Structure 1
């Protein structure tokens, strides 16, 4: 049985962000009904890749990827009949997913006020580039603009040549998929609330806020002033020799940061004499550009004759985080991906049998499956197949938290056995939705983030940035007494999240069967690089390793060049968001069946999902997926252009009218405007066009140019530095930055939630905890009281 079976979602969305949100819900069995325009359908039906000579509304590989498991209804809500059909569908639904601008929602009767008045038991989730309170001139922003406005674009790739343009990141729709993931997380959380009699609500998701929140451990240190960003392309980078290296049959990626890594690396290389010039602890205490360059030169010579998979497996066996750089053709052949069934064949009536990427999480009781290909336009218009009453709760386990904070997950308790970033980020998102999240720690071995960059374990900037609204209990599970207390806590909880090393939970008697013996309906969530088992399950790594293995890193770079990869900081928080979403799907399943389960998440597969359309395109065309700079098959110009004082302008021109307005704003020569007057010509001559535009923007003030272009209706944004992000008025206005309590300085700003809800938002006011700060509450109120489980 699928986790969201019996829940209906109406999808009025028409962009990859909203359609990806709907896809995630449909993956878990929700009945997602897509409302489309008569004749042409969703705009994504005409976006590349367009395959073969089939009928145009049905031959887009992008649409095929984003819309499996959905139904299609044709409707024009501007007509009386269409409006009647749309609201008839909504009247029988639990949620609506949309990505139009606020004016469109008002026109169809789905504004926040309409929802509160007409549909008090409906969840409406709206995804827009900058949120509902952003100025109208920003409403037409494209993914590239948001990527740059969020800070990620300026810092992609890592260790960039400052004379070259910032790159768009992997694939075409990274921002859309990230925003769709947060939207799906919110929708499922609110559906959980509906099951428990809580009101419906309007959820406003800002794509910019989603992307900004994904950099919380980096930006969080900047906004407090604990670290002063330089405003350079390296502000998101880490010191050290992490990099891509060509080898005999491709590329490998090396990420080493500690003394233990270095000693293992020396063993791998056979202790050559040139390594004697490096102290064993240089990665932690004496990194310099000169040393990094010297190491790169020596390691590049050594690895150049090695085969990428073989040398990476040797390295992993002795503890060196070295991985092969995979591309789209490598993934279906991976023994690990085959073991986990990540790719499944789906038969599409026009495109044929297509190898689809599925989901990065395996659920033991309610797995996500693809049951049908994307629908034909209007295939279900005459057969809406009403579902009837909503599912009922059969086994509620609500608890009274130590502090009432509101939110759709109020009454849920999460035990967090996590460290560093991905696991804590999952816990943070659940806490921001109202769950009580208890982090199990021990003062004898504080987790790594408590040791980075701070004066003591209770005031380390990384930890403080990632863990607001988390409770902490000091409990040493290496001792019999500590393990007994942990088991007692799990018996009083709903979800257990861990991202410990492969096998660590099982060795401590905390594998899923052990947890289910403590509490049969427990939901246990495991976050590992490759997932919990499989031929490569023993391997470990960090976020840049995930990106290299997943196929993402291979997509970032200049045409004809090698992989440059995503920003070094990208990946962990995305994995945490996916884990939180899968946990909530399992939670809804438990409420309607009484059944707990094991959620097994692969970090590498999570990042593959962030370029799922590229994987489908490769499966359909056989073309290699290689670095493509800032190119986009449907837009030109599409890229980053130099401005005065080392700043950069992102432009994404959708059609010929926007091109004319761009030329007018730049006072471009008439010959240039006419020579590139059609999209076909602009796409064919994109390189020369970029050079022409760079000459026109190079001496302009970027902020003035962005303001004028937006006023003219051209999608534009500055490529934001870290300083720009922490000063961004739109992020502050929607409380993406929040002030929370701080044990030393009183208050500190942190990255808050990417969403705003019309009612019952969980309060976000407590900062990260001191280690063991909530021992009294946990040992007394939770463990000292009689069990509240059913």
Structure 2
């Protein structure tokens, strides 16, 4: 209590029972410390009908559709390794906390913020939930192969992205057989997918001659996206990560261990890691002497304003998922976001132009403007303004720099070389605006041997170690069904952006922020990296296991619907067995204690599999939930998007798009007490706001706008 009375921020994730047991009174703390921000995390949201619902990371992933896309066709659905739903919730709590602090410093109004695990996961999956609603055909499990996931090579597995014809041709040039690229059976991505079994018989023996690193260093310079499936040991010995000092080392009782370092780097205010905590870290400090931010007394405490970042502007070069998601979050928080695209090189998530379409359209109909109807783009760009500029042209670059001069933030997620090639590096930007915050999000960061290599979610998962841990026991590594590392990196990038903006209030200058998506994703696996650094061996495929639960897994019921079950405590084990009438199982000594169940987890899992196969899924879920045992039916993405409970809890809102029509989108993951997040409106159409921005912000006449159009430096239709 004394610490809270002198603190700027209180973060808590207590259950209601714990709050009652500990006698916590947050209202009283706020009365005594009007400047404090309280960030509360909960699984389903405080005050909702599911406030007391039992849960685990696995059951959240089941309930949101996350599990349904993971794993091989016909096999058990899989969760993401570790506790990913909790990590992304923590990242969202970071975003909300820093945003609330920044708003308090500016307005004097402190507030409470609520962040739920359920909202965090649903919002992070927005593009694929929207895609399911658009098409009625949710994404499902997919077998690994060249079209998706990992393929074998000499010393392990790699992800290769050769969907586009130039990259397909470059790969065969590297293999020394350029003519094969013209083989009519395989000369388009669709043909390669349709004939993948035959292609694999040709390609896999060739890949067996190359190591992962040979493929990475040989194909990446040819603009082919390559992701090598790294084990924990591989990560700890990787030359790129060593160059970047990506790990921090600690010593305890003569033993050394490593863990991932900071998920982002800040040029002016680098993150600092403390060693082992001592008593002085918990001492009371003089709040007024140590707080460098402007803190004002709370006024009414009930004033309701726009989002906490209202009044700020970002001009951004973000595309696809991670970058676009980070700037959508900034938009959700009230920042004006001007998305800069090009009519000659559209965001790939717009889905292409005829005849090469790759979008997920309403009723699977591309319409006249398919680039404005794709669920992927529309799912991560809500509320933004969109302009088009050909930044390869000096005049267009000048326009961009004018916008930078009147903006607060620039965000980009190109590969490392692109920004320098365009002449838009941080030094160039701050020459026109010393207070600009520039956020860069390349896959491998901006320095190191791999920094110029491009990547995407399909390569980030393997290079971060995620794919090596994901898969069935004794099976090969696999990629997840949807590359969730993109969303996680996007949330962290949003929080880093706000942190730099808050520091700017103190210093008066901006700074460069770098997010290596590889290193950000590695933080999801911190416990495994620490374990591997101590033991000297790499943890293997995790399946649906968790070191603190047994039984835990996905089990096929009598009606062929999979259910996810997590049992952590002895009380839950007793309730599990009694509610399903499994008295003989409960009596077995091998499962009498939590430790014995974890020790015999494989054997226990086999018995649970047999037991659940005799029950209907609805019966299992109801009986176990009533007994306070975490259990959920595994929903598809479409079932999650249409879930009646979610809509009753107002976890979705309808947004009307001029080309796509009316669809439900997940609401943002935070609830701010006094600066509520406003409905941001739909994603923009290509170049929709160019004239508005050029006229209102650049001060152009209609004649100047028309001249730019005639030069094809801007427009609303792609020139591809």
TM-score (structure 1 length as normaliser): 0.81
**TM superposition shift of 1:478:** 2.5
Aligned partner (choices 135, 143, 155) of residue 227 of structure 1: 135
Counterpart in the other structure of 1:626 = 540
CA separation of 1:367 and 1:268: change in aligned 2, threshold 3 A:
same
In the alignment, is the contact (CA less than 8 A) between 2:106 and 2:294 conserved in 1? no
State whether structure 2 residue 663 is matched by structure 1 residue 748. yes
C-alpha separation in 1, matches of 2:385 and 2:289 = 38
Counterpart in the other structure of 1:241 = 147
Aligned partner (choices 358, 375, 380) of residue 461 of structure 1: 375
CA separation of 1:509 and 1:129: change in aligned 2, threshold 3 A:
same
CA separation of 1:575 and 1:263: change in aligned 2, threshold 3 A:
same
Counterpart in the other structure of 1:208 = 118
Aligned partner (choices 291, 294, 312) of residue 412 of structure 1: 312
State whether structure 2 residue 226 is matched by structure 1 residue 319. no
Counterpart in the other structure of 2:73 = 161
Greater CA drift, 483-492 or 294-303: 294-303
How far does the alpha carbon of each residue in 1:690-713 deviate from its partner, in whole angstroms, 9 at most, with x for none? 121112211322233212211111
C-alpha separation in 2, matches of 1:405 and 1:388 = 27
Aligned partner (choices 649, 673, 677) of residue 758 of structure 1: 673
**CA-atom RMSD, angstroms?**
2.6
Counterpart in the other structure of 1:331 = 235
Greater CA drift, 650-659 or 320-329: 320-329
Structure 2: 5+ residue stretches without partners? 296-303, 353-357, 360-365, 701-720
State whether structure 2 residue 332 is matched by structure 1 residue 432. yes
Greater CA drift, 291-300 or 607-616: 291-300
**TM superposition shift of 1:122:** 2.4
Structure 2 residue matching 1:323: 3-state secondary structure: strand
Aligned partner (choices 381, 397, 414) of residue 500 of structure 1: 414
In the alignment, is the contact (CA less than 8 A) between 2:439 and 2:515 conserved in 1? yes
How far does the alpha carbon of each residue in 1:262-288 deviate from its partner, in whole angstroms, 9 at most, with x for none? 1112222332887664456521x4454
In the alignment, is the contact (CA less than 8 A) between 2:563 and 2:631 conserved in 1? yes
State whether structure 2 residue 258 is matched by structure 1 residue 258. no
Structure 2 residue matching 1:121: 3-state secondary structure: coil
C-alpha separation in 1, matches of 2:282 and 2:456 = 50
Greater CA drift, 507-516 or 480-489: 480-489
Counterpart in the other structure of 2:397 = 483
**TM superposition shift of 1:114:** 5.8
CA separation of 1:514 and 1:245: change in aligned 2, threshold 3 A:
same
**TM superposition shift of 1:319:** 2.4
In the alignment, is the contact (CA less than 8 A) between 2:227 and 2:458 conserved in 1? no
**TM superposition shift of 1:502:** 2.3
Counterpart in the other structure of 2:558 = 644
In the alignment, is the contact (CA less than 8 A) between 2:167 and 2:223 conserved in 1? yes
C-alpha separation in 2, matches of 1:381 and 1:525 = 31
Structure 1: 5+ residue stretches without partners? 1-85, 396-403, 786-790
Counterpart in the other structure of 1:575 = 489
C-alpha separation in 1, matches of 2:320 and 2:585 = 55
CA separation of 1:733 and 1:201: change in aligned 2, threshold 3 A:
farther
Aligned partner (choices 99, 104, 128) of residue 218 of structure 1: 128
How far does the alpha carbon of each residue in 1:747-774 deviate from its partner, in whole angstroms, 9 at most, with x for none? 3322331122222112114101122322
**TM superposition shift of 1:238:** 10
Structure 2 residue matching 1:780: 3-state secondary structure: helix
C-alpha separation in 1, matches of 2:534 and 2:518 = 22
How far does the alpha carbon of each residue in 1:73-114 deviate from its partner, in whole angstroms, 9 at most, with x for none? xxxxxxxxxxxxx1x222211111111123544666767766
**TM superposition shift of 1:506:** 1.3
C-alpha separation in 2, matches of 1:203 and 1:720 = 29
State whether structure 2 residue 245 is matched by structure 1 residue 372. no
CA separation of 1:272 and 1:749: change in aligned 2, threshold 3 A:
same
CA separation of 1:521 and 1:709: change in aligned 2, threshold 3 A:
same
CA separation of 1:231 and 1:706: change in aligned 2, threshold 3 A:
farther
In the alignment, is the contact (CA less than 8 A) between 1:663 and 1:673 conserved in 2? no
C-alpha separation in 1, matches of 2:446 and 2:268 = 16
Counterpart in the other structure of 1:360 = 263
**TM superposition shift of 1:508:** 1.7
CA separation of 1:542 and 1:445: change in aligned 2, threshold 3 A:
closer
C-alpha separation in 2, matches of 1:432 and 1:784 = 27
Counterpart in the other structure of 1:683 = 598
**TM superposition shift of 1:485:** 1.4
Counterpart in the other structure of 2:527 = 613
Counterpart in the other structure of 1:775 = 690
Counterpart in the other structure of 2:718 = none
**TM superposition shift of 1:207:** 1.0
C-alpha separation in 2, matches of 1:382 and 1:427 = 36
C-alpha separation in 2, matches of 1:280 and 1:560 = 32
C-alpha separation in 2, matches of 1:109 and 1:486 = 55
In the alignment, is the contact (CA less than 8 A) between 1:309 and 1:323 conserved in 2? no
CA separation of 1:198 and 1:381: change in aligned 2, threshold 3 A:
closer
Structure 2 residue matching 1:209: 3-state secondary structure: helix
CA separation of 1:106 and 1:491: change in aligned 2, threshold 3 A:
farther
